[in-house]
Chain A
Amino acid sequence: MADGAPPSTKTAPLGAAEVDVVVIGGGVNGVGVARDATMRGLKVALFERNDLAFGASGNSSGMIHGGPRYLSYDPAVTETSCRDSGHIQAIAPHLLFRIPFLVPVASSARARVLLTLMDAFFEGYDEYQPLKRGKPHTRLTPDEMRALEPGLHGDIVGGISFDEWGIDGARLCVTNALDAKERGARVHVGTTVEAIERREDTGDVVAVRWRDLRNGRTGRVTTSAVVNATGAWAPVTASLGGLTAGRARVRPGKGIHVAFDRRLTNYAIAARTIDNRQIFIEPWQNISVIGTTDDDYYGDLDDVVATSEEVRYLVQGIARVFPAITEARAIHTWAGVRPTLHAYGPHEDALSRDHRVVDHAAHGAPGLYSMIGGKLASYRLFAEEMTDVLARRFQLGASCATHKSFLPGGDEAVDPFDLAERLEIDAVAARRLVYRHGSRSRVIEERIAESPREAAVVCPCEPVLEAEVRHAVQGELARSVDDVSRRTRLGLGACGGMRCALRCGQIVAEERGLPPRIGREMAVRFLINKARARVVALGPEQARQEALAISSVRSELGVRELSLDGQAESEPR
């Protein structure tokens, strides 16, 4: 079909194929569509090439912020973000935590004017705050600023405080995927789609061919529609359906974060980089995070890592407002690639954070859709818009209810202190457990009632209990140490997995019925990948500890196992 043909209004009958919709991509947009479409009565299969939240969703700033940054040029993004932030708080209250922000204004000739302008600007933002249970902004004097955050540096004339919410992006993806699965969707992780088959005459989507990357098994599933929700991979995925990559074009923007071993501040603090970009330090769960960069990315999407250059750039920017950062202990970095809407020319920071559904009927591929752009905060709305398009295709009457029904664990609050007492575990461990699982922490409680030794702490930094590791494999689609870490934050603390990865690998192998050797290989791969992410941010004392970590791993595992880096997981078929 010729380019530029009008989108097809053709409809498809329900149940004509094995599934109605194949969703490709286990990021927040993909799992959001899978959940919404399943709730509206469609038969859904989701394929994720790596793991849920492997890409941008699990490597974000961990905020569902309203995006005040976009207010001046993209107010619609701010409004939708704020509105949807409110919805997410309603359906998964256990996953949310408040992050109050401070924006210091340094003394300069125009500082007073700047402060007044900012005050007026946040007045505008306040209009959207009620949508997400946010508090209105406050203008603060220098003394008030320093009282709130004693580590603030420099000659400041005052500042602004405003309100945002933090979230664990990986858990958000996992809960959405679980909900879709419990409602009947098929969810395949570690499974790549190798081809999207279309009819030669009409161009209609008829099936996808998939390959399980861990055991090489292949298969085919027939379907009436395919949703390409693969984020920065979108052009690659579109090409699997015979489209040119340009039909699902994104402008991939790499962003990195550096994690520090504790909450260094009470408030998130905004700062400026040497090239006047806005960055921040935020207290996030039990760590501090600084971020982020935004650079056009031309590398391998399956292997995105922060470099020491990027780390130094961020640390330098934060040090201007919070100098103690240069002596803080960096324990981890992560990097992701934003699937920003494509535009040639604008500076990375000036790109729109909006999202768009591309109906490839216009390109001769009816039934194939691409989700381009988007933000963590507005994933649910984006999924709703996508599912509305599907609903029209299948002539469904059901309207979206994803903002009204709880995500798994969100339905009921659990008191962590009671839980700690019942399980005879540390209150901190109980609190972390309840944060991650909400009312579903009862499932883990039941495991421990059945087998009391599962109350043992596997990862002392986070902490994570043995029962939670087993639950991640049995009930949350985790297949490796890395997957468990993504779901529980195991091994992401100060020890970098040195104390828990091998034990975790042992458990994963046992739960999956694999030879213990495979569990060990998973653990080594995890240790090496985390070390690789960590070394770019090392300070002097940590370099010593890193040298020790290397010799310790060598002495136990030998050099050959250290050479696993980059190899595919070998598993019996």
Chain B
Amino acid sequence: MSRRVIVVGWGVAGLAAAYAAAERGAHVALVGEGAGATSLCPGAVDDVDWSEREAAAAVVGAPLLAPALDDEVRAFVSTVTDWDLAQAGQPLPRLVATTGIVRTARGRDPALLDLGSVGDRTVLVPRAPRASWDADALVASLRDEAPGVAFEAIGAPVLRFADEARIADADLAARHDDDARLAWLAARLAPHVERAGRPRAAVLLGPWLGLAAGRAQVLAARLGCPVGEAMASQSLVAGLRFERARDRWLARSGIELVRARAVGFERTGEVCRVSLRGAPALEADVVILATGGLVGGGLVYDPPEHRAAPDGPEHVRAPFRVRFPIDGVRVGDGVAAGVASSVFGPVLDHAWPRAGAAGSLERAGVLAGPDRAAAPGVFVAGDVAASEHRTVLAAVHAGLDAGARAAAIEAGERRKTALFA
């Protein structure tokens, strides 16, 4: 009988764990509910912190080329997501944020414009009366950030209805899933593209180009020039596209999806049991937690003073806990949280990162050994196992690692533990 694995959490780490376990013949049940960090990712797919990489490149004066990635990471990304990863040894994509930043990434949501592929084209940036979109300010900032590329703000009308000055980015994006609407937009942009000398133009828009896959490419084909979005960290559009790709993969993968929130965990002999809210409990040989740390809510900050009697808390308790009753929560310098050192809980005065050092909220997680096991039968992956901030591909790698180990403990299979090949 194949090993039964339950993966809790359907962000990128949970999906990677499910993928790796299923690839190794395990029977996988994926428990997912709500949205976490991956759903909020603006579409830049990082392996390491982009700003540190750019700083290092500036010091050594070397061009930014894509390092080779672990094969299974590449396979996962191409199977499960729509993201484009740069080929090893090729230049990294350069992405634009609506706030005027240009930054490199290891990969991207393909709807985002890659400035690296624009060459000597002029990037046209249509003006639109939306609060978060000031084409002229953006162009001024981009000329500063990407001096090798020509930018021009243009007056093409890209909003069709009056409410589009105010609606959310995701709502505006959804309207471009409609072919007629995309054709309307192409017709508005076409004269400007022609004027700029078509093959020598590119178009940069806000995160508005559809929730379905490939809308930016459809528009690009209609206009005959590169078209793409600038990313916005608050827009959710790239995250919604990720979720759609995830749902398509889950539908064809044969993995059992359970839409519920996991609320309990217990282990009897060799059997792990995960209880769910509003659904029957699940049993398996192994459980993988990929619940996203504090961001996804898999880890709970619960100071004793909250909801305490008017005079203060009567009981001291651990201020950080996993939603499941397993031990090994850590906070601060990677030490187990235990009970608080004051009845009022920990001091969060250094919760934010300072001078490059991680903040205490980022360092909250679940203690796991080198084999990613937190307790007998329990593996961890993603932000819940992070002791520092994580990138998307690092979370993928951690998920694959946990999935592989969970599926094949007895087989003693050793995976490469490096993200980079």
Contacts and interface: CB of A to CB of B under 8 A. Distances in A.
Interface of A: 153-154, 307-309, 312, 315-316, 319-320, 323, 326-327, 452-453, 456-458, 460, 466, 498-499, 502-503, 506-507, 510, 515-517, 520, 528, 531-532, 535-536, 538-540, 543-544, 546-548, 550-563, 565-566
B361 interface: yes
A562 B351 contact: no
- How big is chain B's contact interface, by range? 35 or more
Given A499-B234, A543-B348, A554 B49 contact: yes
Given A456-B129, A555-B42, A560-B55, A506 B389 contact: no
Contacts of A539: 303, 306
Contact of A565 (B295, B306, B351, B355): B355
Contacts of A466: 131
B301 A543 contact: yes
B352 A532 contact: yes
A560 B49 CA distance: 9
A520 B99 contact: yes
B271 interface: no
B389 A316 contact: no
B51 A560 contact: yes
B312 A510 contact: no
Contact of B50 (A535, A548, A558, A566): A558
A558 B52 contact: yes
Interface string B369-412: 00000000000000000000100000000000000000000000
B144 A516 contact: yes
Interface of B: 37, 40-42, 44, 46, 49-52, 54-55, 97, 99-101, 103, 129-132, 134, 137, 140-141, 144-145, 231, 233-234, 293-295, 297, 300-303, 305-308, 310-312, 344, 347-349, 351-356, 359, 361-362, 364, 389
A538 B347 CA distance: 10
Given A510-B137, A510-B140, A565 B354 contact: yes
Given A326-B308, A559-B51, 8 more contacts: A308-B349, A457-B131, A543-B294, A544-B295, A550-B361, A551-B40, A555-B233, A559-B389
Contacts of B231: 556
Given A516-B144, A544-B295, A554-B389, A536 B352 contact: no
B306 A540 contact: yes
B294 A547 contact: yes
Contacts of A510: 137, 140
A558 B46 CA distance: 11
Given A515-B144, A556-B233, A536 B353 contact: no
Contacts of B307: 326-327
B240 to A, nearest CB: 16
Contacts of B52: 558-560
Given A507-B137, A556-B97, A550 B353 contact: yes
B295 A547 contact: yes
A309 B305 CA distance: 12
Contacts of B130: 456
Contact of A559 (B37, B49, B129, B352): B49
Given A316-B311, A558-B52, A308 B294 contact: no
B302 A540 contact: yes
B295 A548 contact: yes
A466 B134 CA distance: 11
B394 to A, nearest CB: 13
Given A312-B305, A507-B137, A558-B50, A543 B233 contact: no
A498 B40 CA distance: 14
A153 B295 CA distance: 35
A177 B306 CA distance: 43
Contact of B311 (A320, A456, A503): A320
B362 A550 contact: yes
Top 10 closest pairs, chain A to chain B, by CB: A558-B51, A516-B141, A543-B301, A547-B294, A535-B351, A502-B99, A319-B310, A560-B51, A456-B131, A556-B233
Contacts of B103: 558
Contacts of A327: 306-307
B355 A563 contact: yes
Contact of A316 (B37, B42, B312, B364): B312
Given A547-B295, A548-B295, A326 B55 contact: no
Given A510-B140, A550-B362, A531 B352 contact: yes
Nearest to B297: A544
Contacts of A506: 99-100, 134, 137, 141
A306 to B, nearest CB: 9
Nearest to B293: A547
A449 B99 CA distance: 26
A560 B55 CA distance: 8
Nearest to B301: A543
Contact of B101 (A547, A552, A557, A566): A557
Nearest to A499: B234
A37 B307 CA distance: 53
Contact of B37 (A319, A548, A563): A548
Contacts of A517: 141, 144-145
Contact of A528 (B310, B349, B352): B352
A535 B141 contact: no
B362 A547 contact: yes
A107 to B, nearest CB: 15
Most B Cβ at <10 Å: residue of A323, A506, A516: A516
A44 B91 CA distance: 59
Given A506-B99, A539-B306, A555-B42, A453 B352 contact: no
Nearest to A518: B144
B295 A551 contact: yes
B356 A540 contact: no
Nearest to A543: B301
Contacts of B295: 544, 547-548, 551
Contacts of B300: 540
B121 to A, nearest CB: 22
B144 A307 contact: no
A550 B359 contact: yes
B352 A535 contact: yes
B49 A558 contact: yes
A204 B51 CA distance: 55
- Which residue, of B99, B300, B311, B347, has the highest number of chain A Cβ atoms within 10 A? B99
A520 B295 CA distance: 25
B344 A312 contact: yes
A547 B361 contact: yes
A535 B234 contact: no
Contacts of B311: 316, 319-320
B348 A535 contact: yes
A115 to B, nearest CB: 21
